[in-house]
Amino acid sequence: MTTGNPAFGSSFAGLEFAAGAGSYRGALDSVSGQSLNGVAVGRYEASEAVARSFEGCSRFIGASQARRQTDCIGLSSDGGTTERGTDNSSLGFNLSSATIRLNGQRETAPGWFVAGSLGFETNQLSGAQGVSATGQGMVGGISLRRQDGPLLLSATADFGYGAYDTTRTITVGATPGSATGSLGAFDAGAHLGAAYQLPFDRFYLQPSLDLAAIYVGTGSYNESGFSPLALSQHSANNWFPTALPSLEVRSRFDLTGGAVLKVSANVGALLVAKNSWTSKASFSGDPLAGSFQSRTSIPASAAEIGLGVGILSGGNVEFNLRYSADLSYRFAQIGTARLAYRF
């Protein structure tokens, strides 16, 4: 192969040495930086988390199991992890995130509610073959909600942006090197939801369906460091259409002093179309060498489970804890603590 940079050819000569040592694939993986695709997966999950953050402003109707939307303001904190193992098609990564959110909801007309959310997040990615990234960002959204008796309809728009510092360890031959970069990534989502309460004496059931279209984009950037195998990452984007049918069971237990304990559990099936992320890069050390693509798949379907517990004071204060997880070859989980004041 003829290129414009002799050092580039020398670096690839190191791959031939790696092949002789039985580590050719590992050397290619360290050059590709494929695990950085986990940043885009994290933006997709951030959009889902914003949509879920609007679910906490409701109160029981009298002594019944039925609930109605209400005015409130709340502060929540959530932390999550995503583990995607390495397989024959994609390199794995572990992604962790923590977010603090301010939420509020107001009834603007009988049965019509407008809700808003704004949060700050931190992220950390640890990937296969010495890939890592740390980032910070903002997330937010607005939701229009309509309650008509047991029926609740919602339309939500959300946005998010994160800035990440990336590091790759490149092992070609006997001497490893590193390359660093700065990556910007964003997400925007549109979500539609419908839920219907079926109250009984001691509990209620709530079947629901949530549909979403989530757009994720990453900007282009140039790595510095281990030249000529540092990369020029091209911008990338993708839509993720999703559907989540689920069923929740919830019950209340009246305590002394007018307080109420509520417990809930849910199970659902998450369905994702266009379930992969593809990035494109070229070698900054020799643009004449062309470009290559790296593809990371995410599950087309996953079982979703959730557990929740909350305390409603005799006044207007409510505290909730919730845990949810997606179960597939990608394991994702998130825990949330929320304090709210209801008007």
pLDDT confidence of 10, banded at 50, 70, 90?
Answer: low
Predicted model pTM: 0.88
Q: Which one is predicted more confidently, 174 or 196?
A: 196
Mean pLDDT of 257-283: 90
Encode pLDDT of 175-188 as tens digits.
677 889 999 999 99
pLDDT for residue 227: 61
pLDDT for residue 1: 45
Q: Is 11 a residue whose pLDDT tops 80? A: no
Encode pLDDT of 326-338 as tens digits.
988 678 899 999 9
pLDDT confidence of 7, banded at 50, 70, 90?
Answer: low
Identify whether the C-beta of residue 337 lies closer than 8 Å to the C-beta of residue 77. yes
Mean pLDDT of 161-188: 86
Encode pLDDT of 92-111 as tens digits.
889 999 999 999 999 999 99
Mean pLDDT of 211-237: 88
pLDDT for residue 30: 67
Spacing of C-alpha 300 from chain mean position: 15
Residue 210's Cβ-side half-sphere holds a number of Cα atoms within 13 Å equal to: 23
Question: 30-34, 113-117, 216-220, 270-274 — which is least confidently predicted?
Answer: 30-34
Encode pLDDT of 21-33 as tens digits.
446 566 666 677 7
Q: Is 308 a residue whose pLDDT tops 60? A: yes
Q: Is 253 a residue whose pLDDT tops 60? A: yes
Q: Is 241 a residue whose pLDDT tops 80? A: yes
pLDDT confidence of 294, banded at 50, 70, 90?
Answer: confident
Query: What integer best gives the mean pLDDT of the chain?
Result: 87
Mean pLDDT of 3-20: 54
Spacing of C-alpha 237 from chain mean position: 15
pLDDT for residue 245: 97
pLDDT for residue 22: 47
